[in-house]
Structure 1
Amino acid sequence: MTELFVRTATGLLLVAAALLTAVLGGTVFAVFVAAVATAMFYEWTRLVRGRGAVWYASGFLYALIPALALLWIRERDAHGLELLIWVFIVTWSTDIGAYFAGRRFGRRKLAPAISPGKTVEGLYGGIAAATLLGGAWALATGLGVALLALAPVLAVAAQAGDLFESGMKRRAGVKDSGTWLPGHGGVLDRLDGLVPVAVLTAAAQLLGLT
């Protein structure tokens, strides 16, 4: 069984779980988000073990704020589900676009001291995928043209979130934040890009930009 097959199968299960609970909304989605946030905080505590109370408190906020942002986006108004799915699409397409563009065209290292495997070409691929797929969803669902401009910005934010978590792991001396997800590592490994995308989308919504 190849690594790509395992990674893809696990990814599809995660996508299905996220979309199903998002569609159901309400208590089901809230419980799902709370469970994921709890797993994120647990993995964070393992990465910062021995660093002091400030790091633990930071991890609590790191897990809590995006969880609240996702719940806010979903329940804010009648278009909450569509906007939440847009958040997922931008995050997922950034990750997938960066992965395949990096494997196929990657030459220049993006941040070799933090994550040697990431490339500039991968970043461009992630931005392109997020812009195209996020833009298509925004236009198809009538979410507004503002999201066309926001998608590439959040793709960069997603990559920054990925690099931040990579830096955390490098400092902790571990390859993955956990072993929960075959082919992906831990929950933080899978959601590091979603954290900034969710928070920034909720902020844009609060400011009336979406």
Structure 2
Amino acid sequence: MNELTTRTITGLLLIALTLFATVQGGMIFAVFVALIATGVYWEWWRMVQGWNVLWKVGGFLFALIPAIALLWVRDRSVAGLELVIWIYIVTWATDIGAYAAGRNIGGPKLAPRVSPNKTWAGLIGGILAAGFLGALWADYAGLNATYFWIGAPFGAAAQLGDLFESWMKRRAGVKDSGNLLPGHGGLFDRVDGLLVVAFLTGLLVVAEAL
């Protein structure tokens, strides 16, 4: 089985498991999110061995706060299920759009010292995909009009999360954050952008409730 096939199968299984836990909500979703957050922190902890202790504290918060945001959005907000799916769509669209544009268009590198494979075309492609698909879902699901417009900037934020993790891996001297997911690397590799989008969405939900 080649790497692309392995990556595709793993990705589809992850999506199916994520959507199942999200639709179920309650304790199933809480346990699922807790396991992901724990895995992310474990990988973070391994990468920052020998770094300042503040990195270990920061990693705990970096994994915990988005997890709390996801749980809050899912179970405490109006249209919680639809909004969590919006978070997924924006994040996944960003990844797919960036990959497709970067691979097919190429061009100038975005941050060659941090992540040599990322391009400006990929950045723009990810932003456009997040904006378009995020708006489609927001309209279909009847979400607040705000979510029709903010897919694009949140897609840009997701890519900043990706770049941050790439910088951490380069400093730590590792290719992937872990090896739990065949074809993908570690959990942190897969949810780096999602952590940022979940956090920002949680802030928006809290602001709307004030």
Shift of 1:100: 1.0
Report the equivalent of 2:172.
172
Secondary structure at the aligned position of 1:179 is classed as coil
Secondary structure at the aligned position of 1:116 is classed as strand
Give the TM-score, by structure 2 length. Answer: 0.97
Q: Report the residue type matching 2:166 in the other structure.
A: S
Deviations 1:131-179 (A, max 9, x none): 1111100000100221122100100000000000000000000000000
Give the TM-score, by structure 1 length. Answer: 0.97
Q: Name the count of aligned residue pairs.
A: 209
Q: Report the residue type matching 1:65 in the other structure.
A: I
Secondary structure at the aligned position of 2:107 is classed as coil
Task: Indicate yes or no: 2:187 matched with 1:187.
Answer: yes
Report the equivalent of 2:19.
19
Shift of 1:105: 0.4
Say whether the 8 Å CA contact 2:77–2:205 is kept in structure 1: no
Mark the runs of 5 or more structure 2 residues left unpaired by the alignment.
none
Q: Report the residue type matching 2:127 in the other structure.
A: I
Mark the runs of 5 or more structure 1 residues left unpaired by the alignment.
none
Task: Indicate yes or no: 2:122 matched with 1:142.
Answer: no
Structure-2 separation of matches of 1:10 and 1:41: 21
Say whether the 8 Å CA contact 2:91–2:130 is kept in structure 1: yes
Structure-2 separation of matches of 1:27 and 1:168: 32
Q: Report the residue type matching 2:180 in the other structure.
A: W
Shift of 1:63: 0.7
Report the equivalent of 2:46.
46
Shift of 1:8: 1.4
Structure-1 separation of matches of 2:122 and 2:175: 20
Structure-2 separation of matches of 1:51 and 1:76: 37
Say whether the 8 Å CA contact 2:91–2:194 is kept in structure 1: yes
Alignment of 1:1-210 (within 5 A): 1-208=1-208
Shift of 1:128: 1.1
Structure-1 separation of matches of 2:75 and 2:39: 23
Structure-2 separation of matches of 1:192 and 1:94: 12
